[in-house]
Chain A
């Protein structure tokens, strides 16, 4: 019966995550709903399944443990990769964003194309002799 409680709690967490995925305004805010609470929901459901088969049959499934471990490991990594690719792809932030700390770092240290780097070097090379004169 405790397995059923875990499974129901996990399903409710999945629904909450899906509602957040519909209602939030932005990719970066939606990734919170899509990664964290969804991972918690599926983890709770899988733990409920494991407890159900452990209590009723005495069957300890190592594959289910592997599945729990793998989902717990990879879902936040996938959300991070999507957010990074969205920022590099210039997906706009929502209008109520307060601050964007990555923007300065991105403008200083990384250039989107390699041709821009060459142009910057060429401009610096043409400026330096003038400064010496």
Chain B
């Protein structure tokens, strides 16, 4: 019983963290701020999935952790390339 209460407290803390990052996404002065906050939201979602799989006592969501980690990194890398050069994939001349 106390274990499930602790998991719910951890989930609420993660929701608070994601809300703070959403404030930064909406308000952020430059687009680098927004990309950085989106990366942080992805990392917090990974932690939330781990806590939720403990809460439901199942192994089914572990693939999802790896998948969201890879997708978040690729998205952040593509946004960084786009902000730096203006294109995502560079052509050779």
Contacts and interface: CB of A to CB of B under 8 A. Distances in A.
A19 B21 CA distance: 8
B7 A4 contact: yes
Contact of B46 (A42, A52, A66): A42
B59 A61 contact: yes
Interface in A25-49: 27, 30-31, 34, 38-39, 41-42, 45-46, 48-49
A26 to B, nearest CB: 9
Interface in B29-74: 30, 32-33, 35-37, 39-40, 43-44, 46-47, 50-51, 53-54, 59, 62-63, 65-66, 69-70, 72-73
A1 B65 CA distance: 22
B83 A49 contact: no
Interface string A1-39: 101100110111011011101100001001100100011
A89 interface: yes
A36 B43 CA distance: 11
B10 A7 contact: yes
Given A4-B3, A61-B62, A82 B80 contact: yes
A53 interface: yes
Contacts of A70: 66, 69-70, 73
B40 A63 contact: no
Given A30-B36, A86-B83, A81 B76 contact: yes
A67 B59 CA distance: 14
Interface string B1-43: 0010011011101101111110110000010110111011001
Given A17-B40, A18-B20, 10 more contacts: A7-B50, A8-B6, A14-B17, A18-B21, A38-B43, A61-B59, A64-B50, A78-B72, A79-B39, A86-B32
